[in-house]
């Protein structure tokens, strides 16, 4: 195999600050630093669009409308075919399994393509979900981000096409001075707050913890999906509003995570929640529902995974973890596990190898 850099096209469903586009941006940055020619097409835009533009050869948005019609999707499919033909990539990396149009376009144009599967099977419940899952078999390779995801993917794709590559984080130079909250226990939660993220569970947890002790405070690192969700949440924690802060969307989550004593993950559905990696990297212990691939990012037999969706057990484990000496010990163990197993450099190397492999295989056919 020669050392010529591949022409890579990345297709994303959106460019907002949610987990999948954020993770993809880190991959794109690394490929850019390695002098790959990487073009990006996204079905929709988002807050990260300018950052994508800075580290790509070109960025094109397929649809300006956040609520596309059936007709605009149909037109968008032919626009996508035209864009791919013009860019003429060696390989296409499709970010997430929900991009049915991208799967079909790559197959029609006979371009080798890799699908990054960041979803649990339950997250593909829409009317098109069945076809999205079935279309995975058209891909040259499937890259699930967790062993959990690979299990459902294997129902639709032959095993030899599946390579699990866990998400990674940049572990170099992520160091912050120890933040001391005194007697207060600051509990953080990270992301776009919604029902899928278990914001209703988080409200129940807040109410129960505040009934136990007034030492607890809560920090939402991120924001709500919409004002309706926010209104429902604050209605359900009436009387405790002064103990809850919301950062809004922040450029860098690490300084906010560093303020916390511990982080919770209350999601109903995930594949490999990035918030667990980010918290662990800063030695912040995590209490999380034991869903999907969450346990894959934590040490073996981790004591603070909670049966879905047992609020009383979640509260008990949070109270147990609130002791300062336990926080420090568990936090350090989690950081050690992340730095040894989830380096972004290793993730990028594996993705490069998969892309090279599918290009070589395509040449032999």
Count of CB atoms situated within 10 Å of the CB of 356: 14
Which pTM value belongs to this model? 0.87
Grouping H, G, I as helix, E, B as strand and the rest as coil, residue 52 is helix
Picking from 165, 193, 144, the residue whose alpha carbon sits closest to that of residue 292 is 144
Query: Which three-class secondary structure state does DSSP give residue 91?
Result: strand
- Tell me phi and psi for residue 200, to 5 degrees: -70, -35
Q: Give the per-residue pLDDT at 173.
A: 66
What is the end-to-end Cα distance of the chain in Å, rounded? 16
Q: Which residues contact 152 (CB under 8 A, 6 or more apart)?
A: 120, 121
| Model pLDDT, residue 171 | 84
With a CB cutoff of 8 Å and minimum separation 6, the contacts of 193 are: 199, 202, 220, 222, 223, 224, 225, 229, 230, 233
Of 153, 185, 191, residue with least CA distance to 22 = 191
| pLDDT value, residue 1 | 45
- Spatial distance between the Cα atoms of 193 and 198, rounded to a whole number of angstroms: 8
d(CA 327, CA 310): 22
Q: Where are the beta strands (DSSP E) in 15-123?
A: 37-42, 58-61, 91-95, 113-117
What's the CA gap between 22 and 27, in Å, rounded? 9
Predicted confidence pLDDT, tens digits, the chain (365 residues): 456 789 999 999 999 888 889 889 999 999 999 999 999 999 999 999 999 999 999 999 998 766 677 788 888 899 999 999 999 999 999 998 888 899 999 999 999 999 999 887 777 777 677 788 889 999 999 999 999 899 999 999 999 999 999 988 888 767 777 788 999 999 999 999 999 999 999 999 999 999 999 999 999 999 998 999 999 999 999 999 999 999 999 989 999 999 999 999 999 988 788 899 999 999 999 999 999 889 999 999 999 999 999 999 999 999 999 998 899 999 999 999 999 999 999 999 999 999 999 999 998 87
SS3 167: coil
Ramachandran angles phi, psi of 50, nearest 5° = -65, -35
**Closest listed residue to residue 206, CA positions, set 181, 169, 248, 236:** 236
Q: For the chain, give the number of residues.
A: 365
**Calpha distance 165→149 (Å, rounded):** 11
DSSP string for residues in 191-260: EEESTTTTHHHHHHHHHHHHHH-TTEEEEEEEEESSHHHHHHHHHHTTT-GGGEEE--S-S-SHHHHHH-
Q: What is the pLDDT of residue 340?
A: 92
Helix %, strand %, coil % for the chain, to 5?
45, 20, 35
CA 44 to CA 38: how far, in whole Å?
Answer: 18
Q: Is the peptide bond before 12 cis (omega within 30 degrees of 0)?
A: no
Structure confidence at residue 2 (pLDDT): 54
Task: Please tell me the distance from the alpha carbon of residue 303 to that of residue 330, in angstroms, as a whole number.
Answer: 10
Per-residue pLDDT, 65: 66
At residue 327, the pLDDT reads 94
Can you tell me whether residue 40 is helix, strand or coil?
strand
Residue 223: C-alpha distances to residues 99, 220, 264 (Å): 26, 7, 15
Sign of CA dihedral 119, 6, 112, 128: positive
pLDDT at 66: 65
Please report the pLDDT score of residue 182 as a whole number. Answer: 92
Largest CA distance in the chain: 67
């Amino acid at each position: 195999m020669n050392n010529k850099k591949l022409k890579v096209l990345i297709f994303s469903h959106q460019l907002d600050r949610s987990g999948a586009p954020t993770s993809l941006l880190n991959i794109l940055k690394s490929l850019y630093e390695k002098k790959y020619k990487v073009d990006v097409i996204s079905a929709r835009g988002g807050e990260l669009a300018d950052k994508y533009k800075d580290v790509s050869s070109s960025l094109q948005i397929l649809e300006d409308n956040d609520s596309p019609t059936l007709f605009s999707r149909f037109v968008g499919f032919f626009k996508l075919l035209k864009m791919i033909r013009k860019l003429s990539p060696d390989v296409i990396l499709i970010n997430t399994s929900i991009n049915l149009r991208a799967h079909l376009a790559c197959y029609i144009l006979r371009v080798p393509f890799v699908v990054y599967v960041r979803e649990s099977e339950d997250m593909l419940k829409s009317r098109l979900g069945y076809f999205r899952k079935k279309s995975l078999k058209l891909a040259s390779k499937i890259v699930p981000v967790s062993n959990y995801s690979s299990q459902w993917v294997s129902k639709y794709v032959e095993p030899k096409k599946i390579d699990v590559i866990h998400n990674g984080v940049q572990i170099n130079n992520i160091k912050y001075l120890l933040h001391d909250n005194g007697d207060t226990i600051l509990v953080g939660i990270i992301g776009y707050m919604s029902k899928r993220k278990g914001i209703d569970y988080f409200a129940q947890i807040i109410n129960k913890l505040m009934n136990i002790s007034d030492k607890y405070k809560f920090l939402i690192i991120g924001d709500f999906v919409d004002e309706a969700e926010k209104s429902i949440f604050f209605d359900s924690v009436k009387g405790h509003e002064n103990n809850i802060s919301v950062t809004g969307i922040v450029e860098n989550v690490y300084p906010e995570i560093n303020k916390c004593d511990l982080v919770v993950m209350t999601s109903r559905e995930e594949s490999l929640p990035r918030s667990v990696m980010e918290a662990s990297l800063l030695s912040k212990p995590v209490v999380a529902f034991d869903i999907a691939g969450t346990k894959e990012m934590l040490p073996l037999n981790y004591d603070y995974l909670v049966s879905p969706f047992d609020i009383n057990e979640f509260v008990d484990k949070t109270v147990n973890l609130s002791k300062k000496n336990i926080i420090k010990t568990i936090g350090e163990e989690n950081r050690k596990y992340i730095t040894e197993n989830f380096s972004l450099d290793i993730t990028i190397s594996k993705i490069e190898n998969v892309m090279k492999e599918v290009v070589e295989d395509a040449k032999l056919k």
